[in-house]
Chains A and B, each alone.
Chain A
Amino acid sequence: MKSKTSILVLLISVLILNLNIYADSDFDKAVLKAKKHLKEAMDKMDESKLVKSRGEFERILQLKKDVWLVNYYIALADYGLSMNAGRTENKDNIRKFTESGISIINKSIDENPEFADSFVLLEILNFNRWQYEQEKMQEIISATQTADADAMKLDPNNPRLILTNGISHFYTPEAFGGGVKVAIPEFEKAIEIFKIRKEKKEIYPDWGYDMAMGYMALSLIKRNDDGDMKKAKSIIDEALKLNPDSGFIAGYVTDQYKENNK
């Protein structure tokens, strides 16, 4: 009798395990597929694709698994949509997607406060607020600094965190403590980490390598010391090998190089 009970328990356990394996597999497949679509959309900065990709992640929420991670990607899609709105100076949409992104990434952080990338995303979303509510500068500075510190505590070698700081310094005038001199070492460090970094799970975010190379190239173009343009060209080529679809590298960065290398 005892052994029959044991078998029954084992049977149920294995069945549950089996179901979970199937569920995990469905979930992972769905996330990986959606992640690929999001990357394509972000590479091309294609609004329609970004919207579709956002919807894809929203649908994955229905699986009710690792909701924090799915929310992370929805917030990342919102960030992409807000950046896209920034290209056309559509302030209503910058605000709409930034606010949505902040709200969703905060939910993600509530669900999993130990994931450094969520704080990095919160930081860059808060940077976006400058574009439409400069009057809240004190609050924005506090929010970005806090998110930065939280990410730093959790994962000081997170390459996206280092990249974000580099981008922030790249756009900040020297008079404000920024400039390429400060940014270049950060891009270098981010690239070094990206080279060797493997995320704990394939479904986790891994964006940023090509972007770090793009910004490194832009920084060299901007600095334009002896040999910088040559180095920039080499980095652009390397970045295009890494991600031939990157609109940022193939378009903006390459154009900047051509313009400054006449």
Chain B
Amino acid sequence: MKYIILLVILLSHTGISISQSSDSEEPKFTVISGTVKGDRDSLLEGVNVVIKGTIDGATTDKKGYFEFETEKTGQQNLLFSFLEYEDKTIPVEILSGNNINLNVKLSKEDVKTEEIIVTASSFTSGQNNAVTLTPLEIVRIPGADADLYRAITTFPGSNQVDEGSRITVRGGDPDEVLTIIDQASLYNPFIFDETFNVSSYSTINPWGLKGINFTSGGFSAKYGNVLSAVLDLKSYDMPQGTGMFAWLGLANASLSGVYLSKDRNFGATFSGGKLLLQPYFAINGESSEYEPIPQSNQFGGTLSYKLGSTGNIKFYANYSDDKVGIKNASPSFDGFYNSNSKSYFTNLKLMTAPSSSTLINAGASFSLYDRNNEYGILNTDTKDIYSKGRVDFTKNLTSKIDINTGAEYEYSGYEIKGTVPSYSYNLNLTAPSFKIDTLSHTGRIGAYAETQIKISDRVFVIAGARTDYHTLSGKMSFDPRISFGYLPDNFHSIRGAVGLYHQYPRLDNYFRASDNDLNPEDAMHYILGYEFNKEGKIVFRVEGYYKDYKNLVLMDRNDFYYRSSGEGNVKGVDVFFKTKISNKFTGWISYAYSDSKRKQYDSQNLAPSNYDITNNFSLVGSYNLTDQIVFGAIYKLSTGKPYTPVTGSEFVSSQNVFRPVYGEVNSARYPAYSRIDVNAQYIFSLFGKFAVAVIAVNNILNHKNIYQYTYNSDYSERKEIITNNKRTFYVGLGLQL
């Protein structure tokens, strides 16, 4: 007990002696002051300055000036922090009474992990200053039917294939456009992709995307095995809440939902949709004879789990199917073209940031696209299988230098079974045919390294290279690439890129090659453009490009084998102007001139490529009449695509059919394509919940665009097959549940 009393006394006295000591000595303060500047020596207001481990500090004023007093002495660390700038720690030796004055410069967090630096030929959406496309714009573009791909075709450089979601870029084939979602290659994000005169639709939900980066050329070395363009999509890592949304339209119904656990570590999303065309056809009429009418189902979702404060693991799965029979009269067969498909896609992605400057992404994906096509004697079951494993590593070496590197292995399999006509001109049920049952597969190993360097506040360079090896052909490719940007001020920029791009031919091409001896097709891209971008309110861009193709697949007329002896080139100019006038009006004009020629497949001479659209013009506008009502309209006009004309016919007595005689490859063109679509959106409350109604009229002037020509049995009469996108009316209602 006496010890306790002693202790209490001791403690009390210690406290007193400390306070007496403090009172008796005049505290000696040191004044620490200075100025903080940012990029281009701008004075920064609001920078927090603090001696680490204490609350001694100050905030800079409008002149970037700070001043505070401290009793601390000795070696101390001063921490400078400011929103959107990198923290800076400066060690100082404080000697009591010796004031300190500092001039400090902070750097913006310019090179962040996963940040997209806008390169030439890119249209992006996300949190950067050069946004050109937002999910809201995607769903509001008339005629785009809330489809990401269709929305992209309103920008210069890309075109729709047969009014569907498949796109071609700068005269290239649709297969030369790669879609990536969360690192995984997505080869068939479409329904009705290989159907006769039924437009394809994308199965990607634009609302689920946090970032969209579409690049029509000159893209990064991290993208391999793609020749023309990349659509790189990033979905949300974690939902931000819990809720459901239901949609009921004249042609479709869907339900989607998001869930976030209370501890915010687990999230899930789902979406399911069904095509219901009966009411749509009842109002708009059937533009063709169907049996069955087009039908489709889609469902999918994600599961996300947060790993620590910076990591995340996400599983993504999607399923879709479609089925349709459409009447078609060809010269040799009059009947239904039946097709159905099933598409499966899964992806597991892990993201972790071992440090604030290091990011690792790893993923594994699998996809299967299984379809059946039947028309006359043709009856095939085809499967495309892809599986990919990938690791990407990003390191911010300094605020100015970023290093990206990664590797991937991709398995591709192609299987076709069924009956194939021996001659393409004879499809009737008794035509000569052969059975096919073939499986081919390959692996591709790729690796890349790239650096992003901010040479100054106004100049960046991205330089990199990649290499790929194809196990089936045993061929290797090496692609050096460089792109740069010069931003003389906050509004103007000049961007360019030069690089080599390779893509291995489709697996079915190897069936017709001797010993799988096909090189990867390659294209050299040269791009130079200028852009004026005033905070997204006014965007003007003009860009010229030239692409030189080598090693394209070409049929050798001597032995009918495919060889890598084709070539081609494309040159063109893209012009884009977008404006936003307050919150009332958003609109853009896009024009693309392109001249694309290829010596490829059957074309023994340089001829217009299949998707050589010389002039392509889009005018898009959206007007907010009130906060609740939005009107939109789009006008599209383009040169008709090329086709190979039939110049005569020969009777083949052994088969009792006529065989067409063709003119020069792609020497004729369909008439110009044009279409005007309009829509209106109304936001309101239903049962106390958020609701949105949409009314749309596509092809309001009912312009008869030609899908293709067909002929009578002896090819003496040509008939037009009009696209199924005649004037149609659509209404839909969405409700937040």
Q: What A residues does B690 contact at CB under 8 A?
A: 137, 141, 176
List residues of B (106-148) whose CB comes within 8 Å of A's CBs: 127, 134-137, 139
Interface of A is mostly: helix
B560 located at the interface, meaning its Cβ lies under 8 Å from any Cβ of chain A in the complex = no
Expressed in whole angstroms, the Cα–Cα distance for A99 and B134 within the complex equals 18
B84 located at the interface, meaning its Cβ lies under 8 Å from any Cβ of chain A in the complex = yes
Which of A54, A113, A136, A138 is B243 in contact with, Cβ under 8 Å?
A138
Q: What is the 8 Å Cβ interface bit string for chain A, positions 32-47, against chain B (1 contact, 0 not)?
A: 0000000000000000
Q: What B residues does A173 contact at CB under 8 A?
A: 685
Q: What B residues does A54 contact at CB under 8 A?
A: 46, 48, 59
A59 located at the interface, meaning its Cβ lies under 8 Å from any Cβ of chain B in the complex = yes
Expressed in whole angstroms, the Cα–Cα distance for A100 and B46 within the complex equals 14
List residues of B (679-709) whose CB comes within 8 Å of A's CBs: 684-685, 688-690
Q: Are A10 and B7 in contact (CB under 8 A)?
A: yes
Question: How far in angstroms is the closest Cβ of chain A from B282?
Answer: 30
Expressed in whole angstroms, the Cα–Cα distance for A51 and B60 within the complex equals 9
Question: How far in angstroms is the closest Cβ of chain B from A105?
Answer: 11
Q: Are A3 and B3 in contact (CB under 8 A)?
A: yes
Residue among A10, A15, A136, A144 with max Cβ neighbours from chain B (10 Å):
A136
Question: How far in angstroms is the closest Cβ of chain B from A114?
Answer: 10
Q: Which residue of the partner chain B has the closest CB to A176?
A: B685
A56 located at the interface, meaning its Cβ lies under 8 Å from any Cβ of chain B in the complex = yes
Q: What is the 8 Å Cβ interface bit string for chain A, positions 62-90, against chain B (1 contact, 0 not)?
A: 11000000000000000000000000000
Q: Which residue of the partner chain A has the closest CB to B10?
A: A11
Q: Are A146 and B48 in contact (CB under 8 A)?
A: no
| CB-CB under 8 A for A59 and B50, given A14-B7, A139-B241, A146-B260 | yes
Expressed in whole angstroms, the Cα–Cα distance for A175 and B3 within the complex equals 76
Q: Are A58 and B81 in contact (CB under 8 A)?
A: yes
Expressed in whole angstroms, the Cα–Cα distance for A17 and B323 within the complex equals 75
Q: Which residue of the partner chain A has the closest CB to B61?
A: A48
Count residues on chain A whose CB falls below 8 Å from chain B CBs. 53
B491 located at the interface, meaning its Cβ lies under 8 Å from any Cβ of chain A in the complex = no
Q: What A residues does B236 contact at CB under 8 A?
A: 139
B103 located at the interface, meaning its Cβ lies under 8 Å from any Cβ of chain A in the complex = no
Q: Which residue of the partner chain B has the closest CB to A26?
A: B55
Q: Are B62 and A113 in contact (CB under 8 A)?
A: no
Question: How far in angstroms is the closest Cβ of chain A from B697?
Answer: 23
Q: Are B240 and A143 in contact (CB under 8 A)?
A: yes
Expressed in whole angstroms, the Cα–Cα distance for A103 and B379 within the complex equals 56
Q: Are A110 and B264 in contact (CB under 8 A)?
A: yes
Q: What A residues does B207 contact at CB under 8 A?
A: 136, 138-139
A106 located at the interface, meaning its Cβ lies under 8 Å from any Cβ of chain B in the complex = yes
List residues of A (1-35) whose CB comes within 8 Å of B's CBs: 3-4, 7, 10-11, 14-15, 18, 26, 30
Q: What B residues does A150 contact at CB under 8 A?
A: 262
Q: Are B688 and A138 in contact (CB under 8 A)?
A: no
Chain B interface residue bracket vs A: 35 or more
Q: Are B58 and A63 in contact (CB under 8 A)?
A: no
Q: Are B84 and A96 in contact (CB under 8 A)?
A: yes
Question: How far in angstroms is the closest Cβ of chain A from B579?
Answer: 16
Expressed in whole angstroms, the Cα–Cα distance for A97 and B239 within the complex equals 21
B431 located at the interface, meaning its Cβ lies under 8 Å from any Cβ of chain A in the complex = no
Q: Are A142 and B242 in contact (CB under 8 A)?
A: yes
Which of A58, A60, A146 is B240 in contact with, Cβ under 8 Å?
A146
Q: Are B242 and A58 in contact (CB under 8 A)?
A: no
| CB-CB under 8 A for A62 and B258, given A56-B59, A176-B684 | no
Expressed in whole angstroms, the Cα–Cα distance for A48 and B61 within the complex equals 8
Q: Which residue of the partner chain B has the closest CB to A150?
A: B262
Question: How far in angstroms is the closest Cβ of chain B from A127?
Answer: 12
A109 located at the interface, meaning its Cβ lies under 8 Å from any Cβ of chain B in the complex = yes
Q: Are B685 and A175 in contact (CB under 8 A)?
A: yes
A239 located at the interface, meaning its Cβ lies under 8 Å from any Cβ of chain B in the complex = no
A52 located at the interface, meaning its Cβ lies under 8 Å from any Cβ of chain B in the complex = yes
List residues of B (1-27) whose CB comes within 8 Å of A's CBs: 3-4, 7, 11, 15
| CB-CB under 8 A for A142 and B55, given A100-B83, A135-B135, A175-B685 | no
Which of A58, A134, A144 is B48 in contact with, Cβ under 8 Å?
A58
Q: What A residues does B54 contact at CB under 8 A?
A: 59, 62
Q: What B residues does A15 contact at CB under 8 A?
A: 11
Which of B48, B50, B736 is A141 in contact with, Cβ under 8 Å?
B736
Q: What A residues does B262 contact at CB under 8 A?
A: 113, 150
Q: What B residues does A14 contact at CB under 8 A?
A: 7, 11
Q: What is the 8 Å Cβ interface bit string for chain A, positions 108-140, against chain B (1 contact, 0 not)?
A: 011001000000000000100000011111110
Which of A30, A99, A143 is B241 in contact with, Cβ under 8 Å?
A143
Q: What A residues does B29 contact at CB under 8 A?
A: none
A147 located at the interface, meaning its Cβ lies under 8 Å from any Cβ of chain B in the complex = yes
Q: Are A51 and B59 in contact (CB under 8 A)?
A: yes
Question: How far in angstroms is the closest Cβ of chain A from B578?
Answer: 15
Partner-A contacts on B (CB < 8 A): 3-4, 7, 11, 15, 45-59, 61-62, 81, 83-84, 127, 134-137, 139, 207, 236, 239-243, 245, 258, 260, 262-264, 309, 535, 684-685, 688-690, 736
Partner-B contacts on A (CB < 8 A): 3-4, 7, 10-11, 14-15, 18, 26, 30, 48, 51-52, 54-56, 58-60, 62-63, 92, 96-97, 99-100, 106-107, 109-110, 113, 126, 133-139, 141-147, 149-150, 172-173, 175-177
10 new A-B pairs (CB below 8 Å) besides A14-B7, A59-B48?
A: A7-B4, A54-B46, A58-B81, A59-B56, A96-B84, A109-B264, A113-B264, A134-B136, A136-B136, A176-B684
10 residue pairs of the A-B complex, CB under 8 angstroms, read A26-B55, A51-B45, A54-B46, A55-B57, A56-B59, A62-B51, A133-B134, A138-B736, A177-B685, A177-B688
